[in-house]
Structure 1
Amino acid sequence: MDFVDSGLYRDITDYAHDTPTWIQHTAEIGTEAGLLVFVALFVAGWWRARRADTRAFAIAVLAPLATAVAYVCSEVLKSGVTEERPCRAVAGAAPSLAECPPHGDWSFPSNHATIAGASALALVLVRRVLVRLTAPLALLTAFSRVFVGVHYPHDVAAGLLLGAVLAFAVVRLGTRPATRLATALRASSAPAARWLTGPGPEPVAGRPVPPYATHRRR
């Protein structure tokens, strides 16, 4: 079955085969490694937010959760659409650089692109300056899925959009309850809860000490 962008898919995969071998290998590795970079950024964001105010900490914790929600929604959508992978469906296309996923591992939308789009947007909500890193990384991750031959361009475009929209919605809707929960955990007497949420910001002279900070100093 050919889609409107099947010709673009052929052009990209043909170009991929004309690139130097090191670029092909980098793309094969990078298509998975990009997601690991997002994981590292989530961990760094959580660690940094342990010394931030409670709302900032709540958003940092919601970021990976929002990405997980986007991934689950992507999987549900895949099961409903059941689009065959282009590495099997597009006649005359160059062989995929990556192993073509088995039948039943559907193509639309791209899970990698969905995760990349959700991660990029969620991390920007954690810290806006990260857009300089997360936006290019998300685009490269999405493009790599077409480059290695396992997705159509429309698969990755839809994945990026789906991930970004869902991540934004989950973070915005979850910020208030997550902030209340984080406040309670920071005031907890349980060492594990206090370590997980961190001490919060250092008190500023002349300003009242937050309740959770007072509790910890007793």
Structure 2
Amino acid sequence: MAGLDHPDFELDVLYEINGLAERLSGRTRDVVTFVGEYGLPFVLVALVGLGWLLVRRRADAPQAVAGCFWALLAAGLTWAANVPIRAFVARPRPHESHAELIPMVDGRDGYSFVSDHAGAATAIAVALFLVHRVLGLVALGLALLQGAARVLMGVHYPTDVIGGFALGMAVALLLAPLGMALLTPLVRALAGVGWLGWLARPPADDPERERDPGERLAA
């Protein structure tokens, strides 16, 4: 399929955002590139780990921990779903069609629609929001920042990022019932194994909480 047409307003947005790169010093540009390429994905995965720490002792711990696992799995499924989409749309990278753009990262060839980074970030954010509202909102903000960074770096058009947002949200929400139906029993079974009890332990399953204070002191 031929590449998508580029409305004037999209190119205007692309040039406006990517043009900010000219105002960055060399070192600042390197930092921004690293954050947009690796830093934000790492922080999003770290938020999932923090979410697990916060929900593993909730009353619905097996389901909540499964939701954290689903956030990571949804990101992987979003990436997999994008493979045929990119091949079908076959949209070149912006810097390949517009030589005046400033690509801030080398070696980004191949097709542009949709953005893997934006899609995976959104999948994590939406899935995490279903488990922990505050962390989910933080992750949604980071996903938006991730999308903006990809345009700033000159490796995606704005509609590539919007498409990534849509794809990640669709995967995280539409496949969540199936994913949770598979992951929740798995987490419950793993947590039932003695040495894996730390994975998800609701308050009722905590031996120390089942004892009354006198029994704890006696022990």
TM-score (norm 2): 0.80
Aligned with 1:41 (options 26, 39, 47): 47
Match in the other structure for 1:215: none
Match in the other structure for 1:212: none
User: Match of 1:69, as an amino acid?
Assistant: L
Identity %: 30
Match in the other structure for 1:168: 173
Note the residue ranges of structure 1 that are not aligned, 5 or more in a row. Answer: 210-218
Aligned with 1:50 (options 32, 53, 56): 56
C-alpha change, 1:142 and 1:75, in structure 2 (3 Å) is: same
TM-score (norm 1): 0.81
User: 1:165-204 counterparts in 2 under 5 A?
Assistant: 165-188=170-193, 191=195, 193-195=196-198, 197-198=199-200, 200-203=201-204
Note the residue ranges of structure 2 that are not aligned, 5 or more in a row. Answer: 211-219
Q: Distance in 1 between matches of 2:134 and 2:6?
A: 37
User: 1:107-186 counterparts in 2 under 5 A?
Assistant: 107-186=112-191
Q: Which moved more, 1:157-166 or 1:40-49?
A: 40-49
Match in the other structure for 1:60: 68
User: Match of 1:203, as an amino acid?
Assistant: A
User: Match of 2:112, as an amino acid?
Assistant: S
8 A contact 1:27–1:147 mirrored in 2: no
8 A contact 2:67–2:128 mirrored in 1: no
User: Match of 2:6, as an amino acid?
Assistant: F
1:126 counterpart SS class: coil
User: Match of 1:194, as an amino acid?
Assistant: G
Match in the other structure for 1:13: 18
Q: How many residues align?
A: 199
Please state if 1:84 is matched with 2:85: no
Q: Cα deviations across residues 128-182 of structure 1 (Å, max 9, x unaligned)?
A: 1123311211111111011011111110111011111211222233223322222
8 A contact 1:112–1:141 mirrored in 2: yes
1:75 Cα offset (Å): 2.1
Match in the other structure for 1:213: none
